[in-house]
Structure 1
Amino acid sequence: MNAIARLLGIKSTDEVDHIEMKFAAWWSEGRPVLVLLVCLGLAALGAFFYYRYQNEQPLEKKKRRRILLTVFRSGLLAIVGFILAEPIVSVSLTEHPRPILLMLFDGSDSMNLVDELSTEQADALDAMTPDSINPSEQTRLELLNHALKNGALSEAVGQLHEKFDVRYYSTDEGHSIKELGQQGETKALENDLTAEIQTTAIGSSLDELNRRHGTRHLAGVVVVSDFGQNAGNPALTSAEQLDVPVIATGVGPQEVIDVSIALQAPLVLKQDENTSLSATLRQQGATGSSVSIQLFQRRLGTATDAVLEAEKLPIGTPVVVVLEEGTVDVDLPYLPENSGRFEVIAEVSGLSGEVSSRNNEAQREVIIRDESLNLFFVEHEPTWEWRFVKEVFHRDPLIGHEGFRTFLRSADFKVRQSNDLFVDRLVRPRDEFFANDVVLISDVPSEMLTTPFQDQLVEYVERFGGGLVIIAGPRFSIGALQGTQLADMLPVVVDRSLRPKPSKFQLSFTP
């Protein structure tokens, strides 16, 4: 049975229960006796015709040759009949796949550090590989690559291949992972490990392994890292969700010291308006330590005013923060004094013995305007949405009372002329209309959207790149735009017959 299994390409780890011959032709399905009779009949027919009509004189004298040819032709006809029955070999087996063992290697830049080793530690590392190396001069990654190629660690990994289906992964950019190539016969790593990414996100990498292999026959996960996690989900929570043994193999010192900073800032700021930027500090092994955060800014160029390698200027005074467990959020005061494009940089002071200083800096690009954003709101009557939007943007420092203007069709013409909040007509002079940054059109009837206004709006969006927001309302709905130039600019197909349904509905793709 095992010999037949090997001929069929079945792995030795599979157990063959039984092998059965079946036939698929319409006349032979479920009729093995009929197939046997047909084969015997064809063989007999071949022998009859050969003896009856193939009686040449030379063969009459050589009976042995004549018998062999008769058997050959009879067997050939029997094989033809057997093939016409469309035979099928049905193999029933029980598969015993080898459990999968995942090995996750840290691909962050901290693996390129050279650790200060004691004499005992250096001797122990030197004994792990037969190569003549000086562990005190090797980075963590170089020591790991040496150990995986030769020595006790290489032999131990080789023994794992006999019991498990070992897969190699490395942490990658974007809190993801990448699978590493393996050699054909030995299944060892095809290339040396590399460490180029800036963050260590063990938890997010374990989550990705869970998504790829969580439903398969997973035996466990071996994580090789310095465990200086500075990004992503908590590693302990992700390891618990795997629900398999997770073996942590540490590289480097037992206690990792590291602090990182992330910066959040609005995309657009107003000149000479006090604001605050939000910085988030993450630390490891430095609870209770004090660090300082300093803000810098660097002017960036534009299409017409290129600024190369502008000087990084400090902003204000450093903010001192005491590190706590987990993350610490810090508000950094910021007063933009000049308009234009700037890169805002937050730097946190390093710690003694820190594994990497590359994550001690965070940048954000901001645009500082010397005037308010201009927003033009077109509405039919003072709805609740109109009142809400007006109040929100009046309080926004980037827009305020100066930047918000509205055309309200139901408003009295004299009110529109006397109140600075309103514009008296929908079609405005080109220099005034094109000075807007965003145009909002709410629940308006189609007759309100005159052809001159549509032409002006299309030119504003398509030629000058202006912003357009359409707010569908309950009175006229989006169907009021059908047949207008505005409908052609929308990412949906406008149908006047469509009306909101009071019952539940499901979104569907447009044709």
Structure 2
Amino acid sequence: MSAQRLAEWLGIETGPGEGVLWRFEWHWPLPGWLTVLLVAAVCGAIIWCNVRATPSIPRRLRWILASLRIGAFAVLAFMIAQAALAAFRTGLPTLVLVMDDSASMALRDEYPPDEEAVLRELLKRDELPDRLTIAREALSQDDGRLLKNLSDRYRLELCDVRGDVVAADDRVDAVITALRRMQASVPESPLGRAIERVLQRNRGTLPAAIVVFSDGNTTVGPDLVSASETAGEKGVPLFFVPIGDTRPPKDVAVEQVINDRSVFVGDVLGFDVRLNASGFAGSEVRIVVEEKMPDGQSVPVLETTETVPSDECVMTVRLYHRPNEEGTHRYLVRAEPLPDERRIDNNSQETVVEVRNEKLRVLLVQADPSFEYRYLRNALLREPSIELECVLQNADIEYREIAAAMRPGVPLTLDEWNTFDAVIFGDVDPDLLLPRNLQDLREYVAGDRGGTLICLAGPRFMPGAYRGTPLEMLLPIEVESVSDPTRDGAGDVGFRIVPTPLGERCG
């Protein structure tokens, strides 16, 4: 007799899709090992009493009596354990269908020819509709045959992109009606949060699976990866049915603009524009830098045109500008929208630059008056935008008193170092400096001030003499690997100095 026939014979009624689960239950207070020992001892005692204590009774009768006593003991044990055969009515497991009804599902995609032919044949349409309609008609075609097949094995629950239950009915017609009423009008797409809400709502009886129909766009809340991990931890299978064109969406986004936040009047201001382009291989994108004036007008100051190398790429474009007016300048860096671009709200970014009209304070430090020192000193003294101070370690006191822009020594405190915008550190003897001087110079560069340090190599001290000093970590070389070029003959080989690409652009 089957479990279902037994339930009918006992008068247990079951509804459509329900079944009966039989389970043997008991409540026995003793542990298993002690129960086995107790049963063995009792059975042994009964057999011994019947076989040994009554030798006058025939053997066959004695075994029958022993069996009856053991059976009586078993019945008593079952009664004490409250053994029972329990029947439980079971329903169908729940299958959750999450339908994305966010605004992005209202888009009409341009599919490759082979995919478009398959969709037209499936939907029996000459013109393909939007994404939500494609998902809706794929589920409800042929009078909902697919949903009916699923309803034979599962209880269907339809949810929207927020995770709210739209339909939870045994009737497929109710699910199809709810599907047809859904509109792609939700401004946000909290798809990950919807999955977590479904799991939270069904935490008592977890669904058999969650099937998500979506284009994959998640704008707020947890992303799909974290939601998938949550479902995996709970043991709930998660299936995604992608809706829409599987190719990357056509988009050009200005992801990041890197530039100096403060420059001097007439200095070169560089903009490093990071573009993320997809779906526009071979297209030309125009990048424009506009200055936003106080009256609200925007004046173009820079522009360039770049070719997108591939369908999915990240490219960096560099543009240079020389602001000639003091004050706060607001710049808008934007990429001109291309034809068929899906989003244009991510095509621009704004940045603020403070333009200062003041002299640049520079400190030049050197041990001896070398050729480089004399050239730099004279060139910087003639530059009207620079206020120069010099330290010459081995200079005579009389020379220090009469020479222009000379100071007696290097700054003695960090605050004094911070009064300079840049420090040119030439071939300086570290033995003539205090340990605190190098520590303050390191903090001047690596600290919050972020000062500029320029190191000039020399024949005596820089950089070899600074091995193991606080200044070593600031040098862009490994000091231990430095050798004297005049000793190994490398200094006899000539070479040509050429400007870097940045130097060529800056003129």
TM band (smaller chain): 0.3 to 0.5
Q: Which has the larger radius of gyration?
A: 2
Q: TM-score, normalised by structure 2?
A: 0.42
Q: TM-score, normalised by structure 1?
A: 0.41
